[in-house]
Amino acid sequence: METATAEIAAAAARIVVEEGLEYGPAKRRAARQLGVSGRAPLPDNETVEDAVREHIAIFCADTQPGELRALRELALVWMARMAEFRPYIGGAVWHGTATRLSDIYIQMFCDDCKSAEISLIDHHVDYDPQTVTGFHGESVEALTIAARSPALDVVVGVHLMVYDLDDLRGALRLDNRGRTPRGDIAALRQVMSSLTDAPPPP
């Protein structure tokens, strides 16, 4: 069973890196491709993340650091634009596993959950409102923007996820590995100022 789980994790990691799929769909597709029974346990996200890091180290070591930096630079642009809504960067861009195919996930913690959307309208920013999975597995409104990365010359999905201000305290609890699960503008700039694009410190 452990061998099957490891195989699913490795296959899912390849899909994440090469196709930009999120962990959940990547794990399910990997299981189907490997012919694993639907009742078999899927690897947890931490196991897939480890496999993603291994895949990147083997196959993308020469390109991924630059792609990661470009995505972090684009994230900073939007975090600065939405600074009044307390933006925090999470996901692969924060944890250092993003590639040019990765989307950017920015969580905003608002006094008034409609205020962020109104701000985009006031600034004539085109966006697509949709529902995505929040950091506790709940459904959260996201304002999705198609933003061009000049460094990568690609259009990147930037998801501005709207939370209530009261959710901020829980958002900063350490994850299962004792790491900070997301960072504000200052934290992201600190990570980027290091000599390498290493994952953020715990």
**One domain for residues 53 and 98:** no
User: How, if at all, do strands 139-149 and 154-164 pair?
Assistant: antiparallel
Specify if 152 maps to a domain. Answer: yes
Q: How does pLDDT run across 113-172, given as a tens digit for each residue?
A: 899 999 999 999 999 999 888 887 788 999 999 999 999 999 999 999 999 999 998 888
Residue found by looking up tokens 């200052």 in the block: 186
Residue 39 and residue 113 share a domain: no
| The pLDDT of residue 202 is above 50 | no
Residue that is last in its domain, among 30, 59, 88: 59
200 within a domain of the structure (yes/no): no
**Residues 190, 157: Cα–Cα separation, whole Å:** 24
Do residues 9 and 93 share a domain? no
Residue 105, number of CB atoms within 10 A of its CB: 24
% of the chain at pLDDT higher than 70: 95
- 22 domain residue, yes or no: yes
Sign of CA dihedral 179, 137, 154, 74: negative
Q: Is the same domain home to 131 and 186?
A: yes
Q: What CATH number corresponds to the domain at position 155?
A: 3.30.460
Q: Which of these, 172, 158, 157, lies nearest to 109 by C-alpha position? A: 172
| 160 and 92 fall within a common domain | yes
Question: Quick one: 50 and 95 in the same domain?
Answer: no
Q: What is the 3-state secondary structure (H, E, C) of 42-109?
A: CCCHHHHHHHHHHHHHHHCCCCHHHHHHHHHHHHHHHHHHCHHHCEEEEHHHHHCCCCCCCCEEEEEE
Same domain, 26 and 69: no
At 188, which helix (H) or strand (E)?
helix 185-192
Question: Which range marks the domain in which residue 121 is found?
Answer: 64-192
Give the Cα separation of 73 and 160 in Å (integer).
16
Domain total for the chain? 2
Residues 6 or more apart whose CB falls under 8 angstroms from that of 132 comprise 139, 140, 142, 159, 161
Least confident range of 39-43, 56-60, 91-95, 106-110:
39-43
pLDDT (tens digit per residue) in 65-76:
999 999 999 999
The one-letter amino acid at 166:
D
- The pTM of this model reads 0.90
